[in-house]
Amino acid sequence: MSVNGAGAAGFEARFAEGVVAFRWRIILATLFLVAVASSGILRLGFSGDYRIFFDEDNPQLLAL
């Protein structure tokens, strides 16, 4: 690797060529990873019940 960073330009070119050469594999792998990462989103929820956020002896809750 040279001091002026010429080695980095070689890596970038090889990386770009690899992405172009395997573009369909990369697209499919990305879609698969997004599907796996978002698979639990249907189980997410929000409760508006204030009792889950505060203890029973919370001074602000007792003042309310």
Q: What is the pLDDT along the chain (64 residues), one digit of tens a residue?
A: 445 556 667 999 999 999 999 999 999 999 999 999 999 888 888 888 877 777 888 888 788 7
Using alpha carbons only, what angle is made at residue 50 by residues 47 and 55, rounded to the nearest 5 degrees?
125
In a domain, 1, yes or no: no
User: 26, 19 in Cβ contact below 8 A?
Assistant: yes
Whether residue 39 is contained in a domain is answered as yes
Split into its structural domains, the chain has a count of: 1
- Do the domain assignments include residue 35? yes
| Domain of residue 13, residue span | 6-63
